[in-house]
Amino acid sequence: MFQNRIIQGDALSILPALDENSVDVVFADPPYNLQLQHELWRPNMTLVDAVNDAWDQFDGFDAYDHFTRVWLTGVRHVMKDTATIWISGTYHNIFRVGTILQDLGFWLLNTVTWFKPNAMPNFRGTRFKNDVEFVIWAKYSEQSAYTFNHHAMKQFNDFFPGKQLGCVWTIPVCGGTERLRNTDGQKLHSTQKPEELLQRILIASSQPGDVVLDPFMGTGTTAAVAKRLRRRWIGIERDETYVTAARQRIAAVDPLPAAHPLLKTASREKPRRVPFLTLLERGYLHPGQRLRLGRTGQRTAVILEDGRIQSGDVTGSIHRVGAHLKNAPSCNGWMHWYYRDEDTGELMMLDTLREKVRQTLRGE
């Protein structure tokens, strides 16, 4: 009901009021609990614009853990069970967040390391330059299905173009015209995320039209990218200055043309799962009919009424019996079993029938 809107207020009380089971993907960039006690000065005596905002102050780890548990519980309530959640953080908070995620029943999929080549140095030289952040990607539960546009993500592999993308993403810290500034030219927000990061996240895990939630919206990065990628979005943010700036920023964004390649690749659908039994139920095959393993193979199996097949004394799914006969650890039965087309007399791969069923289901 709150789609394409920023709700100004405390995420902890707003999340329980959102519709249950209504969100396809969550991006959350919660306070980090950086515990910065002192101002940081550069060697040239200029003050570092560090994250020492009031919104990042907690009375210790227990208070931070409690806060994390409450907002994650609220987010879980609005997530569809096919949704995934991305949470960004630093070494200060990400491990605590990861533990709580697991305790609440989420299932971790990956942790992306965001490498920031233009990160600020460690001016005092007491530690390594802190040039990474982490983004945990988790699904609703161990059993749940989820969206992953694996092929679309290959376009972001800068080192091996066209190959599978890994978990280290090199993206500069947000700057230039993308960075929102106040009237004094100072950064409006200390932790505005780069749009490139959100673009990858949304293309990886959602389709155009999906609903994206960001409970700590800040300057509206998630919504700006969601709008450009033709996703629907919901944002929550407590601070009025950020809300005002985010609304202006989002209003200025134009959605990409529907035929834009970033939308096309992202909307590549995961093929629908078709149980073998559906082929019998829809009359494409019938019990007693024989299947052949390989177009020119000698081994055959007979189809049973319950959707299993039998070859000699082995009974099971098309995959299991195929693997057994091939003496292989696994076998994609759709690709290896053939049936005889009753009209043409030709031997055809089972997968052609699966595709026919998928086409019919699309039309229903």
Ligand X SMILES: C[S@@+](CC[C@H](N)C(=O)[O-])C[C@H]1O[C@@H](n2cnc3c(N)ncnc32)[C@H](O)[C@@H]1O
Report the interface residues with ligand X, using CB under 6 A: 10-12, 29, 31, 55, 189, 191-193, 216, 218-219, 221, 236-239, 242
Look at residues 254, 186, 191 and name the one whose alpha carbon lies nearest to residue 219: 191
Contact 46, 286 (CB under 8 A): no
Would you give the distance in Å from CA 297 to the centre of its chain? 42
Q: Quote the least distance from Cβ 40 to ligand X, whole Å.
A: 18
Shortest distance (Å) from residue 134 CB to ligand X: 13
Q: By CB neighbour count within 10 A (0-12 exposed, 13-18 middle, 19+ buried), where does 318 fall?
A: buried
Minimum distance, C-beta of residue 174 to ligand X, in the bound complex (Å): 7
Measured CA to CA, the distance from residue 272 to residue 299 in angstroms comes to: 29
What secondary structure letter does DSSP report for 312? T
Beta bridge partners of 27: 86
Q: Which is nearer to ligand X, 240 or 343 (CB)?
A: 240
Residue closer to ligand X by CB (options 12, 277) is 12
Question: Please, which residue, 248 or 310, has the CB nearer to ligand X?
Answer: 248
CA 312, CA 293: separation in Å to the nearest integer?
13
DSSP state of 92: T
Query: Which residue lies nearer to ligand X by CB, 33 or 278?
Result: 33
Query: CA–CA separation, 255 vs 84, rounded Å?
Result: 23
Which CB atom, from 57 or from 300, has the smaller least distance to ligand X?
57
Which are the contacts of 162, defined by CB distance < 8 A and separation ≥ 6? 154, 155
The tokens 């161990």 sit on which residue?
142
Smallest distance, ligand X to C-beta of residue 12, A: 5
Report how far Cα 289 is from the mean position of its chain's Cα atoms: 42
Q: Identify which of residues 70 and 349 has a Cβ nearer to ligand X in the complex.
A: 70
Q: Least distance to ligand X from the beta carbon of 198, Å?
A: 8
> Which residues share a beta bridge with 237?
8
**Smallest gap from residue 115 Cβ to ligand X (A):** 18
Residue 16: both structure tokens together? 């329980």
Of residues 58 and 334, the one with the C-beta less far from ligand X:
58
Q: How far is the CB of 136 from ligand X (least distance, A)?
A: 15
Q: Which residue has the tokens 């005889």?
A: 340
Rounded to an integer, what is the distance from CA 319 to the centroid of its chain?
Answer: 29
Q: How far is the CB of 31 from ligand X (least distance, A)?
A: 5
β-sheet with 232-237: strand ranges across: 5-8, 232-237, 211-214, 23-28, 79-89, 132-139, 107-115, 168-170
Output 191 or 205, the one with its CB closest to ligand X. 191
Between 193 and 227, name the residue whose CB sits nearer to ligand X: 193
**Shortest Å distance, C-beta 149 to ligand X:** 22
Report residue 261 as tokens: 């390649």
Residue nearest to ligand X (CB): 218
Beta-carbon count within 10 A of 260 CB: 15
